[in-house]
Amino acid sequence: MKKVALLLPLFAFSFATIINVPADHPTIQAGIANATNGDTVLVAPGTYIENISFDGKNIVVGSLILTLEDTSLVSETIIDGNLSGSVVTFTEGENDLAVLRGFTITGGSSYDGGGIYCSSSSPVIADNIITGNVSETYGGGISCNYSAPMIINNTIRLNSSSYGGGISFDRYTSSVISGNNITNNYAEEGGGIGCFVFSSPSITNNTIAQNTATTKGGGIHCYYNSSADISNTIIWDNSASIGSDIYTYMSEPSINYCDVTGGWEGEGNIDADPLFCGPDSGNYRLEEDSPCVGTGENGQNMGALDVGCYLFGDLNQDGSVNSLDILLLANMILGHIDTYQTVDYNLDGLMDIIDILFLSDWIISG
């Protein structure tokens, strides 16, 4: 994933308390309860069946990606809401020192904000996989109102709601949304993103693809005096009865330097197949000859992800190198999977456990 610059208070490790879960406390919420402003709740890999609230505390809650910068830990550190409400909530005035980073957020089911709900707060939500969450009204993945969150470098997919399947912004929310891969979400209006009453999000360098709305705005729905500023973003192959990729009602979003199916009026916009590497397998990286390479504002690339379909170690071709590739390699070596491919990372002429160790070390070292 193309990494957007993100300045987190990691240097606070030297001056504040690090609370380890489950070593110090068995649950993430217990870690939060024992934290004070500036502390870090550091969560080991595992599945945590709970619904957490930051309780107004400006703290960092993160997986071991905070210390190891190993993106495979995101899929291994899971907060499962067990269909018992929003998985994570920010509702007590948290500011940008409140950080949620490096988790899989799933199993949320609520009236508003299935995966993450923020109201009157401004947290940083970064480097998460937000998937399999449901909301009755707004924001299957994330719902924000009266807020100004920074939503950066997340994968937001397979969430559903009535309005804003992936993300919903409503009622004077002014968010920064950058570097997110927003795909295969579902809603009645705004399959990928819904920008509702008086919201003004800045949507830059995102990929919004293959989302569905049953009525309006498969990719983005901009409604009633919302004023989204959208740039360097790919809005492609979404579907809806009206406005497959973008639908507006009493709203005038600024859309420039974007790749939109069917085109859209604005400076630098194009209408061209972005040439994703493998969207059917969830790989939305760009082929090297993609028309989105270098055609964004100031010569930047459009979209959220990097360029190039061959990624060392990405055996399952999902656009990232992680523990799933190690598992696939192990099954190849054991003969559980028919393959004509020989994987010999250490160049000794054999495909064996040494190659697994080589790939594991490559992932850990980043």
Residue 45 falls inside a structural domain: no
Average pLDDT over residues 271-285: 93
Q: Assess whether pLDDT exceeds 50 at residue 205.
A: yes
Same domain, 112 and 216: yes
Residue 216 falls inside a structural domain: yes
Same domain, 269 and 150: yes
Same domain, 292 and 331: no
Same domain, 327 and 280: no
Using alpha carbons, select from 300, 93, 358, 299 the residue that is nearest to residue 179. Answer: 300
Residue 9 has what pLDDT?
A: 46
Q: What is the pLDDT of residues 129-165, one digit of tens each?
A: 999 999 999 999 999 999 999 999 999 999 999 999 9
Q: Assess whether pLDDT exceeds 90 at residue 105.
A: yes
- Tell me the pLDDT band of 13, cut-offs 50, 70 and 90: very low
Q: Which domain holds residue 361?
A: 323-365
Same domain, 205 and 272: yes
Tokens matching residue 260: 């939109």
Q: What is the pLDDT of residues 27-38, one digit of tens each?
A: 999 999 999 999
Residue with tokens 């059917």: 280
- Count of structural domains within the chain: 2
Comparing 22 with 352, which gets the higher pLDDT?
A: 22
**What's the rounded Cα separation, in Å, for the pair 153 and 4?**
7
Residue 304 falls inside a structural domain: no
**Does the pTM exceed 0.95?**
no
Residue 44 falls inside a structural domain: no
> Given strand 202-204, what is the order of strands in its sheet?
18-21, 40-43, 60-63, 99-101, 124-126, 150-152, 176-178, 202-204, 229-231, 254-256
Residue 12 has what pLDDT?
A: 42
Residue 59 falls inside a structural domain: no
Cα distances from 17 to residues 36, 38, 39, 56, 335, in angstroms, run 8, 8, 5, 17, 47
Same domain, 286 and 329: no
Residue 332 falls inside a structural domain: yes
Same domain, 293 and 328: no
Residue 318 falls inside a structural domain: no
Same domain, 233 and 333: no
Residue 64 falls inside a structural domain: no
Average pLDDT over residues 273-294: 94
- Tell me the pLDDT band of 254, cut-offs 50, 70 and 90: very high
